[in-house]
Amino acid sequence: MNTEEQNLFPLGKGCHIIGHHQETDIWAIDKAPGILTHPNFQSKSKKKRSLKTLFDAKFNFQEEAYEWTDGAGVLQKVFLVHRLDSPTSGIILVTTNKEISSLLKIAFTEQRVQKTYHAIVRANGLIRPRIWRDKLYEVKKQGKLRVKWGQSGSEAVTEVQLASNTSQKNEFRLLRLKPRTGRTHQLRVQCSKRGMPIVGDQTYGDFSINRRVEKSTKRSQLFLHATSISLSLDYKNRPLTVLFETSLPRSFGKLI
């Protein structure tokens, strides 16, 4: 993306545009870790307004869109179509086209979207390609959302592979994760359940490893990154395929 395109939107700190599908006005943004996809409450409090979000702009909860006035005094809107957890970094899609926004939400609901994530986890034996299947359910603990596994709950399915650029001998492993379902905290919980928590996970992780990594890298983050997203749309009476990809953050290279 050139400088002019990067300046089109009031992006949050550390976030940048990585792609644009011109026909549909779908934009791919690389979200930094620790950035909220959108404010999770409506408040006029100065403290809560100062939270770091994907766009440095007002969020319209009814339309699920960020709004701001440009230099010419024209109201601009960017519509959200899906979300990433605040600690998770990587690709998130937005659009300036309200019709496309509706079509994209349908595509996500109908599971016509394929996403790939990469995660650095604690080593736990030999990792072979496989499918993880679990039952996950949400609970509230002291006002905070937690996800657990058990005999009941919604099915969570993820395709798992060891990434080609990591060794089985490393202390940490780089996994390629392709979720077939979209449950809350799905990848983080499934990794933790198998004794290979994602490094930097402050909820389901190994806190002693997290402290050691934070000390050695001088940064605190969840090492889970959305690296690609592809989807199919029926637009103007013809099928469209949209694909965006991004590279791993430099911080990943310090561990693998």
- Catalytic positions are 85
Task: Outline where the chain has alpha helix (H).
Answer: 3-6, 46-49, 98-109, 186-193, 207-217, 250-253
d(CA 242, CA 214): 36
Give kind and range of the element (H or E) at residue 18.
strand 16-21
| Buried/exposed 133-168: b ≥16 CB within 10 Å, e otherwise | ebebeeeeeeeeeebeeeeeeeebebebebbeebee
d(CA 163, CA 101): 33
Q: Is 36 helix (H, G, I), strand (E, B) or coil?
A: strand
User: In this structure, what token pair is assigned to residue 166?
Assistant: 């990591």
Residues 6+ apart with CB under 8 A from 51: 36, 39
